[in-house]
Amino acid sequence: MELTQQHFIALLPLLLASATLVTVMLAIAWRRSHGLSFVLSAIGLTAALLSIPMARESGVAGVTSLLLLDDFAYFHSALILVSTLACMTLAHAYLGEKPGADGFPGNREELYLLLTLSATGGMVLVSAQHLAALFIGLELLSVPVYGLVAYAFFSRRSLEAGIKYMVLSAAGSAFLLFGMALLYAESGTLAFTGIGASLATHLPSPLVQTGVVMMLIGLAFKLSLVPFHLWTPDVYEGAPAPVSAFLATASKVAVFAVLLRLYLMSPATGDGWLTDALTVIAIASILGGNLLALNQSNLKRLLGYSSIAHFGYLLVALIASNGFAVEAVGVYLVTYVLTSLGAFGVVTLMSSPYKGRDADALYEYRGLFWRRPYLTAVLTVMMLSLAGIPLTAGFIGKFYIITTGVESQLWWLLGALIIGSAIGLYYYLRVMVTLYLVEPGIRRHDAPQDWGQRAGGIMLMAIVVLALFLGVYPQPLLELAQQAGFAAL
């Protein structure tokens, strides 16, 4: 095909993210500077984010047979870029501002390179309309995360988490690739629409069913859905706090977006067997994630199990698969990303890689209000939002998911959602109560902060304001999600 100027404008966010990769890599080769790497990465990804409105106006959607650059892709690309920029800000505060601060035993600059590379893979993934693009995007997203999880290699827990994630992720990718091969053998095409058209003419054969199940296993692993969730708590706990934030937000947004696109464009449901399988996975994820979070005394593990439940909630909208459901997914993903960034951001600003482990034990947050009231306010609002309390962003997301389930009469799933939400309310409130406990002789003490800590704190306060604003006035978010929903359909 012949590429025109309009094609390049449509590809501008992806091109700018790729150019940022090359620039940061060359800057590291020229001169190592923690601050310079952060600034270049942040400028490049911000430029990619700001170019999205221009790319939308290009009027070109199908740039190639591999990528579909519509409002759905741009919406989720923007969400990935915002999440990555937030994680970079947290990483800069986490690693410290001065070169070689506190004797960090490794290089810090590559962390921004890996984050940018993974975000670029996520942008490819949400734009995929072809199984080849799906696999390329997924691997581009996942492989840098192996290094990110084990980035604090001098910590045994971080190194162990990196190895676990690498081995299990490779197994998930193998299942995905084998499932693609089986679908291609039956349909003769790798395009999402081609697969849907080919399989719509007859009932799914055992070959197709096996292929779809194997692909579902590969994607369910990336989303840590039950029973493919066992890696989640260990990896969340062992990874550096900003990397855990990236795993919980940008990485999962990209995978769920492509799962939704694949499900809508090539549904190999036939007699409804895939819907039944997804229903079982959704109920198991909602109940399993919330029940396993009940007795957790580690905040990162608790948030990891909580994320399992939240993506179980999202499966309710995926199973409903009506026009309103796609909009509900967009709204819920934004509210989930917002609250997860805030919660992991507090853990990040409480932690340092130079102390041997992150401040993720719940007892370390006992009486935090009397020591660091601003961080306590942030974590309190995030817990309320995750629980779906009214006047927070999380309430709007959960309300949309419940409305979608009611419209489609998914009563078993709604029952599991209500029970899971009640269980979740208990352990979210347990975290909040811990923050306000009073101990004898406790004194307020604000830790000394450098520029990175201040930037991270300002970002967290902005997240709190946005979470409360969307809880009261969600109309701008609803309009954006509606546009993305129409594009997907």
Cα-flanking dihedrals φ and ψ of residue 79, to 5°?
A: -65, -40
| 272 Ramachandran zone, left/alpha/beta (phi>0; psi -120 to 50) | left
CA neighbor of 268 nearest in space, from 327, 207, 177: 207
Alpha-carbon span 310 to 398, nearest angstrom:
9
Q: Which residues of the chain have pLDDT under 50?
A: 99-103, 269-270
Residue 446, classed as helix, strand or coil, is: coil
Token match 């990528």: residue? 67
pLDDT (tens digit per residue) in 275-308: 888 899 999 999 999 999 998 889 999 999 999 9
The token pair that represents 5 in the structure block: 């100027």
Please say whether the dihedral angle defined by the alpha carbons of residues 177, 179, 180 and 182, taken in this order, is positive or negative: positive
The token pair that represents 176 in the structure block: 């995905």
Cα-flanking dihedrals φ and ψ of residue 110, to 5°?
A: -65, -20
Q: Are the C-beta atoms of residues 346 and 431 closer than 8 Å to each other?
A: no
Please report the pLDDT score of residue 67 as a whole number.
86
- Degrees (nearest 5) of the Cα angle 295, 90, 120? 100
Full-model pTM: 0.92
Distances (CA, A) of 52 to 16, 121, 123, 488: 11, 17, 12, 17
Burial 360-369 (b: 16+ CB within 10 A, else e): bebebbbbbb
